[in-house]
Structure 1
Amino acid sequence: MKKILIFITLIICASSYSQIKLPRLISDGMILQRDIPVKIWGWSSPNEKVEISFNKKKFQTMSSQDGNWTIVLPAQKAGGPYEMILSASNTIALKDILFGDVWLCSGQSNMELPMERVKDKYKDSIAKADNPNIRQFLVPDQYDFAKENVDLSSGEWRSVNPQNILNFSAVAYFFASEIYAKYKIPIGLINSALGGSPAECWISAEAVKKFPEYDAEYQKFKDGKLGTQIEERDRKINTDWYKSVNQQDEGLKNHWSKPDLEDSDWATMNIPGYWADNALGNTNGAVWFRKEVDLSNLKATNAKLILGRIVDADSVYVNGNFVGTTSYMYPPRKYAFDPKFLKEGKNEIAIRVINNTGRGGFVADKPYQLIIDNDSIDLKGSWKYKLGTKMLPLPPQTFIRWKPVGLYNSMIAPLKNYGIKGVLWYQGESSTKKPAEYAALMETLINNWRTEWKQGSFPFLFVQLTNFMDPKTEPGESNWAALRQQQKNILAVPNTGMAVTIDIGEWNDIHPLNKYDVGKRLALQARKVAYGEKNIVSSGPLFKEMEQKGNQLILSFTDVGGGLIAKNNAVLRGFEIAEKDGKFVWANAVIEGNKIKVWSDAVAQPFKVRYAWADNPIEANLFNKEDLPASPFEATLH
């Protein structure tokens, strides 16, 4: 009986690939890496002959006992389109294949963020987007702790056109556009990024052993049981909390969205703002807002509400008609609706806001408007509000997908046979809780990926954290600044490059809209690191070394380009110094040639210097003449 079972199992295993099967990446429209031998791989029946017909030549191999096979094609120049025929017990024809440069684009939400989110800022770019030589493969967001996956569950190659571009990573698209404009070669983008992910998610099980804390955490989740238990618990807690909100909310029970509601007894507050700063205090639950808008000469063909950002979730009504909802705090609220919902005279806008923890309300310095055709009505100012129901804060969720190794196994391991030019990396926001370890984590990640790809030290280009959160008026500690220093330290790893973005963030948005300059600055790094342009200025000033002269520190920099400048001919700002006690004070700073002299009358023996050392260093204005910002830094005399 046992022998029969084994025989049946072998038959099932062999028949699972009775026909040749290809990984998702090897498909119509793919862009393959030029100028290097190219792996084409897949699965078939055991010990089966597999043949590829390509470019008037044939290439053959035999599959292994477990049905795996790989054929290596000789290096090809950039170009195409080509066709490829794969034959075994069945035949697969692949079409529209290009050879060019393939960039793996990874990290967290600022890499993941699609053109859809920035479509209002880049309307012309989207309208004109039509380039079949730039293509993206979007890797599905999945994780697996048990094993390294050999394939992806979904995904296909898509070329740039006004429809497809909305799903492209904005940073990656603008990078690709710059590189294509310069070199006129096809650019493939493998978009494998996930919002909120810390660096340790993207490292293999073997490599993460260098970090005992993360290895121990990975081991806890390896068999999947603990993760399943936690997710089921969190799902129940989350479901019960929102069910209670909906059951208890007086606004839902009594239809506070209807336009003729008697709301004369409602309190008022200014929007944007947080109700914690008003009579409600720091309350969680559901809060309703209402505002009356008077319209005349109404002949609308299009209508839209722009409601900035709301913490955390919202549902919006116009004259009692539901027009849109968003379930979490980060996306901008833009709700197009049928203009028939509007009427001459008084119109009522109602917003139900659910806040599950922290301070709920409307984020400042964002647009709040009713747009009717080409006219806009400012909705900022006084709104009526009333508490629908008060809740205890929702307990924090455990994000299993962010645990070590899981994303590597599911979103990186299936890619490593696919030849690439290099990596674009935008991540770090989720690693700011423990910045001191970041450079070591990233050096491990870079070496891990280079080892697995077996392509040598391919270029690894990354984005330094931008400016974010409230500015501070006095020197102080900052985890975001500390992580930027760690990112600068990563440049010690060979064949890396860093795009500095300290000047293009938004204080109130962890997802700043300016993705064009991020992509452009990554492209400058690529032109130097990956494409070997020797005379290009690819970076703003990077601190090199310093010496002490009396009560002054003399700072030297690399990447000064055409020269150091204080942007807009202003006084140089953002420098602070300290003696050995580490008590930093603001410092005077002047440019002298390609060096900077820094001092303070309050510091007799300067020992340490910092520049742009804050979450949001709004006064940091050191640039080179090529208009590239200096990297923030901290340095100590040796």
Structure 2
Amino acid sequence: MRYFSRYIKLLVLITICCSNSALATVKLPSFFTNNMVLQQRATVPLWGESTSSSVKVTTSWDNASYTAKVANGNWLVNLKTPVYGGPYTITIADDKTLMLKNILIGEVWLCSGQSNMEMPLEGWGKIQNFKEEIAAAKYPEIRIIQAEHADNAIPLTDLRVQNGGWQVCSPATIAEFSATAYFFAKKIYQEKHIPIGLIHSSWGGTIIEAWTSAGALKTVHDFDEALAAMTSDENKEALLAKYNADIKVWLALLEKSDKGMENAVPIWASADFNDASWKIMKLPGYMEFNGLPDVDGVVWFRKTINLPENFEGKDVTLNFLADDDDKVWVNGVYAGTSSGYNVPRSYTIPANAFKKGKNVITIRVYDSTGGGGVYGSPSDLTLKTGQETFALAGDWKYAVGINTKDMPVQPSYPAGQYRPSAIYNAMIHPLLKLPLAGVIWYQGESNAERAEQYQKLFPLLINDWRTKFGNRNLPFYYVQLANYKVTRTEPVESDWAELREAQTKALSLPYTGMIVATDIGNDQDIHPKNKQDIGERLARIALAKQYGVKIDYSGPLYKSYAVKGNAVTLDFTYNEGIKAKTGGLKGFAVAGADKVFYWADAKIEGNKIVVSSSKVTKPVAVRYNWADNPDGNLTNASGLPASSFRTDTWPGITHGKK
């Protein structure tokens, strides 16, 4: 029995020792892996966790050894990196040894923003020539790491990443990576042959305040309630209660303001309503591209059909796609409602709702933003019974019930990734110790309706990140919004133009750069397929400003104006070789004191442009490319497009919106 007791004690001791040895294995953050790139000529922190008392780190590029004491399970050493090169190894030892292999020293860029930064070469993006581009992506000295989408109420210390960490750029790894980031790195590498590391951390559809720290946002006070809601359940419940009350009032106002409703009765759905004065729209198709470019809100659609005899007396399904919400009536009989732009509609219409001969189908669509209406392909818009199908595509009558631009801003409740600071906490904060060569940024579409507010939010984010990364000179290069939506025949107001203006104003910050993309967008696709030029134009800025390459990187930028008689003379920076890209100059509009803009005649005089209009005898303001989807053609010797601009400071359509 004595020997058995000693045996048990010995077994327990061995188990404890083995357990401690296993626990002593060092644990690293997700972005310290094989194949990684570290910033050249920098002090690079390397950190992690261990249950040992100390950790020894050895770097192969200089055979230097660093020893760190473990405090509360954590350790950190500061590595000195040389000029670019590799591959190298890093050996990390506590009670066990871990070796990171195939490491390069080079330039590390953080690539962030919303869907146009996220857009992959293949996947949902399918950029132009994606098959050829993927096949040619053989750049072993370009390395990529992809952050997972994540949001959090408080800052996190580690990043969720895909594919186990860093990957070598190749046809096998690049297809689902950011196309903009890849073409940016490719251009720099081809010019300088410096290893490039791309940290891609972006999320489609996101707003800039979600990417900004809570501390920075508190200085502007536009998001105080939402930030407070992230700190306690009590504040969260209070914000939700306020939202529920506000949205109830707003929806009641929407219905009251809807001309198709009268005392809560849908008068425009009545079978005998006279819609002779209504206009015609072909459905399916987004209403934004079919006569209603400036309408978000309620639009009613009506179609009179002759019901086929083989449909009579049978239950019928009405099928279509709608953006965002809808209600349906057949001959004035309510058939149902649905919400969500990506939810296929299929309403079962009872046999007694239809009658022999003529029948009226009414669809009331509410669209909060974007395209809106009844969309899809002709085969999506049908009546069906059994195996029989009746096509409803074609001409429909329509009328606007209420344009929400004529209402107060719809209340919103920030949740998930739409909470201020939530994405910063999960997708930027974990990276703050890493030295970077710079940041490239493509975002703004989701803030266009609050473009005036973006004038303070964008510089706030840039300065916030510079402070948090500990580099007040951190280069920050970004993409101005591309052209999108319908082309207008006359000068109009535009929230996208106002957002571009906010982006241009951020150039007043040092170490920034902006590319213009209003020549390579798509009127019906918010995600331009030409990401090659986007990435290469961003790379031009970096090559010129950081890598000593003599290369043009900007089209003309508006500087000043002077009025003389009925003409306005415009001066620009980057004005060498100023010209029209093709044909005569276009895209300029001029207004007098009445603030009504007319297209202007424009001519080049030296390195300046003189504009005038026979309709404006006393001009006071000029605008260029001031539209969602402009077609101006001003450029310079570089061939790069000029930025949109305005000389006036009149309140825009996003004035005061928060």
**TM-score, length basis structure 1:** 0.72
> How far apart in 2 are the matches of 1:273 and 1:441?
31
Q: Give structure 2 stretches of 5+ with no counterpart.
A: 1-19, 245-280, 288-298, 306-315, 326-338, 343-364, 381-389, 395-410, 651-658
* Partner in structure 2 of residue 625 of structure 1: 637
Q: 1:383 to 1:190 in 2, by over 3 A?
A: farther
SS class of match (1:279): strand
Report what 2:160 is aligned to. 153
Partner of 2:609: 596
Counterparts of 1:181 and 1:278, CA distance in 2? 58
| Secondary structure of residue in 1 paired with 2:582 | helix
**Structure 1 residue 453 and structure 2 residue 460: aligned?**
no
Shift in Å at residue 72 of structure 1?
1.4
In 2, Cα distance between equivalents of 1:523 and 1:228: 46
Residues 543-558 of structure 1 aligned to structure 2 (within 5 Å): 543-558=558-573
- CA RMSD of the aligned region, Å? 3.6
User: Does the C-alpha gap of structure 1 residues 269 and 624 become closer, same or farther in structure 2, counting only changes over 3 Å?
Assistant: closer
Alignment-mate amino acid for residue 582 of structure 1 = K
- Tell me if structure 1 keeps the 8 A contact 2:228–2:236: no
Equivalent residue number for residue 560 of structure 1: 575
Question: Which has the larger displacement, 35-44 or 550-559?
Answer: 35-44
Q: Which residue of 2 aligns with 1:201?
A: 210
Q: 1:144 — aligned with what?
A: 152
Once residues 608 and 163 of structure 1 are traced to their aligned partners in structure 2, the CA distance between those partners, rounded to angstroms, is 53
Aligned residue in 2 for 1:616:
629
Cα distance in 1 for residues equivalent to 2:463 and 2:157:
21
Aligned residue number for residue 106 of structure 1: 112
Q: How far has the Cα of 1:626 moved from its partner?
A: 2.4
Is 1:547–1:637's contact at 8 Å kept on the other side of the alignment? no
Question: Does the Cα contact within 8 Å between 1:230 and 1:398 map onto a contact in 2?
Answer: no
Residue identity matched to 1:477: E
2: CA distance, partners of 1:437 / 1:286: 46
2:179 is aligned, of 160, 164, 170, to 170
1:407 is the counterpart of 2:407 = no
Q: Which sections of structure 1, spanning at least 5 residues, go unmatched? A: 1-13, 235-267, 290-308, 314-326, 331-354, 369-381, 387-394
Structure 1 residue 435: Cα displacement: 0.9
Q: Is the 8 A contact 1:138 1:190 kept in 2?
A: yes
Provide the C-alpha distance between the structure 1 equivalents of 2:391 and 2:170, rounded to a whole number of angstroms: 42
**Residues 460/60 of structure 1: CA separation in 2 closer, same or farther (3 Å cut):** same
In the alignment, which of 228, 231, 246 is matched to residue 222 of structure 1?
Answer: 231
**1:397-433 alpha-carbon deviations (Å, 9 max, x no partner):** 8542111111111000101111210000000001112
Cα offsets for 1:106-151 (capped at 9, x unmatched): 0111001111134462221112222111121111110111x21111
Corresponding residue to 1:582 among 591, 595, 598? 595
Change in Cα spacing, 1:277 to 1:216, as seen in structure 2 (3 Å) is closer
Cα distance in 2 for residues equivalent to 1:557 and 1:472: 26
Query: SS state of the match for residue 90, structure 2?
Result: strand
Q: How does 1:129-528 map to 2 (within 5 A)?
A: 129-145=137-153, 147-155=154-162, 156-223=165-232, 279=303, 288=319, 359-362=372-375, 399-528=415-544
Write the letter of the residue equivalent to 2:593: K
Give the 3-state SS of the residue equivalent to 1:433 in structure 2. Answer: helix
**Is the CA contact (8 Å cut-off) linking 2:285 and 2:373 kept in structure 1?**
no
2:43 to 37, 48, 60: 37
Amino acid at match of 2:159: L
Distance 1:193 1:86 in 2: 31
- Tell whether the 8 Å contact from 2:51 to 2:73 is kept in structure 1 after alignment: yes
Contact (CA 8 Å) 1:51, 1:87: kept in 2 or not? yes
Report the CA distance shift for 1:80/1:217 in structure 2 as closer, same or farther (over 3 A): same
Per mean C-alpha deviation after superposition, the further-off stretch among 189-198 and 35-44 is: 35-44
Q: Label 1:485 to 1:442 Cα distance change in 2 as closer, same or farther (>3 A).
A: same
Q: Deviations over 1:147-175 (max 9, x none)?
A: 21111233311222222111110111111
Counterpart for residue 298 of structure 1: none
Aligned to 1:301: none
CA apart distance, 1:613:
0.5
Contact 2:26 2:48 in 1 (8 A): yes
What residue in structure 2 maps to residue 249 of structure 1?
none
In structure 1, how many angstroms separate the alpha carbons of the residues matched to 2:286 and 2:193?
Answer: 48
> Which one-letter code corresponds to 1:634 in the other structure?
R
* C-alpha distance in 2 between matches for 1:162 and 1:280: 54
Q: Alignment partner for residue 30 of structure 2, among 24, 27, 30?
A: 24
* Cα contact 2:323–2:367 (8 A) shared by 1: no
* C-alpha distance in structure 2 between counterparts of 1:104 and 1:115, whole Å: 18
Q: How does the TM-score come out when normalised to structure 2?
A: 0.70
Counterpart for residue 66 of structure 1: 72
Cα pair 2:67 2:77 within 8 Å, conserved: yes
Q: Distance in 1 between matches of 2:324 and 2:614?
A: 47
SS of structure 2 residue aligned to 1:546 = strand
Q: Is the 8 A contact 1:23 1:41 kept in 2?
A: yes
The answer (yes or no) to whether the contact 1:51–1:88 under 8 Å persists in 2 is: no
- The SS at the match of 2:647 is strand
SS at match of 2:595: coil
Larger Rg: 2
In structure 2, relative to structure 1, the CA distance for the partners of 1:182 and 1:224 (3 Å cut) is: farther
Q: CA deviation at 1:572?
A: 1.3
Name the CA distance, whole Å, in 2 between partners of 1:637 and 1:121. Answer: 39
Instruction: Give a deviation string over 1:293-328, Cα, whole Å, max 9, x none.
Output: xxxxxxxxxxxxxxxx99689xxxxxxxxxxxxx99
Partner Cα separation in structure 1 for residue 95 and residue 70 of structure 2: 15
Judging changes above 3 Å, is the alpha-carbon distance between structure 1 residues 310 and 167 closer, same or farther for their aligned structure 2 residues?
Answer: farther
Decide whether the 8 Å contact of 2:228 with 2:235 is kept in 1.
Answer: no
C-alpha distance in 1 between matches for 2:52 and 2:560:
61
Relative to structure 1, the CA distance from residue 634 to residue 15 in structure 2 (aligned partners, 3 Å threshold; closer, same or farther) is: farther
- What residue number does 2:348 align with? none
- Closer/same/farther in 2, CA of residues 157 and 600 from structure 1, 3 Å limit: same
Match of 2:101 among 89, 95, 98: 95
Residue 75 (structure 1) aligns with:
81
Tell me: CA distance 1:206–1:548, structure 2 relative to 1, closer, same or farther (3 Å). same
- Among candidates 128, 137, 140, match of residue 121 of structure 1: 128
Matched residues in 2 for 1:48 and 1:181: separation? 42
Return the alpha-carbon distance in structure 2 between the equivalents of residues 51 and 22 of structure 1: 13
1:178-222 deviation per Cα after TM superposition (whole angstroms, max 9, x unaligned) = 111111111111010011111111111211111212133111123
Which one-letter code corresponds to 1:565 in the other structure?
Answer: K
The alpha-carbon distance between structure 1 residues 224 and 181, as it changes in their structure 2 partners (threshold 3 A), is: farther
Shift of 1:98: 0.6
What is the Cα deviation at residue 484 of structure 1?
0.5
User: Deviations 1:418-451 (Å, cap 9, x if unpaired)?
Assistant: 1210000000001112111213212111111111
Relative to structure 1, the CA distance from residue 280 to residue 199 in structure 2 (aligned partners, 3 Å threshold; closer, same or farther) is farther
Flag the 1:397–1:636 CA change in 2: closer, same or farther, 3 A.
Answer: closer
Aligned residue number for residue 656 of structure 2 = none
Q: 1:94 to 1:217 in 2, by over 3 A?
A: same
**Separation in structure 2 between the aligned mates of residue 286 and residue 144 of structure 1, nearest angstrom:** 43
- 1:508, CA displacement in angstroms? 1.0
Q: Do the aligned partners of residues 310 and 188 (structure 1) sit closer, same or farther apart at CA in structure 2, a change above 3 Å counting?
A: farther
Q: Describe the shift of the 1:132–1:605 C-alpha distance in structure 2 as closer, same or farther (beyond 3 A).
A: same
State the shift of 1:604 in Å.
2.8
